[in-house]
Structure 1
Amino acid sequence: MTRLNLLLLGVVIACALGVVTSQHKARRAYIELQKAQTEARRLDVEWGQLQLEQSTWAMHSRIEKEAASRLGMRVPDAGHTQVVPLKRGGG
């Protein structure tokens, strides 16, 4: 009977260690998940800021101002503008 008790005690201890180990792994995985979610939120905010910055840089008035100041470009007057009609249909 003592051998059976010792065997059962060993099995119980092994099971207990298995539970502790799996709980520890689960807690570590949960911490990593929280870190990843925090990083994802930070990256989402940064992405939104970059989209806003891109739309600011691409504004027509800003591009026109830069073209005039840096490149010396200007909008042609109406006498130098020709409108080409767009063909629609078969050909």
Structure 2
Amino acid sequence: MDWDSCISDGACIEACPVQVYQWYRSEQDVPAIEMENGVSEGSGDAQNREGRKDYTDKPDPIRESACIWCMACVTVCPTLSIKVDEANLQAHEEAAKSFKE
């Protein structure tokens, strides 16, 4: 999940049939009204979310192991912020096998 390009529209949360995603909140959240005409620079580090100042919630794949590999989240993401790479491809395929048995 690329939090820097995510626009927080919640499409992935709604599309996921097994509820992999939920909204992530932190103490650093800044209300959108305070970000009007503001600048928020992304860190490029999707793994280090603490300390970031985001103007809104972000979808968080907290139950990634429950993924059934349907790719619904990837399909509906308007900014292509959800990436599937070789590192998590194997984990998704293993998780998907448990639903086929």
Scaled by the length of structure 2, the TM-score of the pair is 0.19
- Name whichever structure is richer in helix by fraction: 1
Greater relative contact order, per chain length (Cα 8 Å cut-off, separation 6+): 2
Structure number, greater radius of gyration: 1
